[in-house]
Amino acid sequence: MPRITVDIDSTASSTIRKSGDGVSGCLGRGGWPVGHGCVPDTLDTDGHPLDALVLMREPALAGAGVRAWPLGVLHRVGTESAPAAPVLLCVAEDPSFIDLVDTDDLPRWHAGGDAWAAVLARLRHQPVGNANDCGTRAEAEHLISDARHAYERLTGCLD
């Protein structure tokens, strides 16, 4: 599983929490904090760095680089009923998330696509469309690989 760094723009609380998790490790009465940012040295199909959300144990400050591993991909339908750019779903490198490795684990964490989309909307301060599904970790890894290759082609850093 490839490790990545996500450059955090902002952080918010979420409803994402493990079933049976009282207050241990959670931010307030809600759930774990989620950071929004981008994956450096990647380009999506629109020529922007890959958009990412990271589930974290502690909130991160804007500008911080958070080491994480990909968990899945949030697929959304945009406000114009057209597919919106996918968002990479990640978990920070922390023992708290050791059992959260693929989208099959999301229900146990109350972390379906709607929960991620709600945090994304709060962090962007604008509508982000509706979540229609979450792609697997394998899809996330493929998305990262393609985005890194696109960046390397643009910058001339191909090996």
State the pLDDT at residue 24.
47
The answer to whether 55 and 91 are in contact (CB under 8 A) is yes
Q: How far apart are CA 8 and CA 51, in angstroms?
A: 10
Name the residue range of residue 130's domain. Answer: 4-155
Whether 32 and 17 have beta carbons less than 8 Å apart is answered as yes
Cβ burial of 10 (10 Å; 0-12, 13-18, 19+) is middle
pTM score of the predicted model: 0.88
pLDDT tens per residue across span 19-41: 765 544 444 457 899 999 999 99
Tokens 């999301």, residue located:
106
Number of domains in the chain: 1
pLDDT one-digit tens code per residue, 107-126: 888 888 889 988 998 898 87
The rounded distance, in Å, linking the Cα atoms of 34 and 38 is 13
The per-residue pLDDT for 29 is: 54
> Residue 28: its pLDDT value, please?
47
Structure tokens at 137: 């970790």
Within its chain, how far is the Cα of 7 from the centroid? 11
- The predicted structure's pLDDT at residue 159: 53
- pLDDT reported for residue 85: 86
In the predicted model, is pLDDT for residue 1 greater than 80? no
- pLDDT for the residue 156: 80
Mean pLDDT, rounded, of the chain: 87
* β partners of residue 135: 73
List the CATH number of the domain containing 66.
3.90.80.10
Residue listed under structure tokens 């990412």: 52
Per residue in 36-87, pLDDT (tens digit) is: 999 999 999 889 999 999 999 999 999 999 999 999 999 988 767 777 889 9
| Cα angle, residue 141 at apex, residues 25 and 81 outer, rounded to 5° | 90
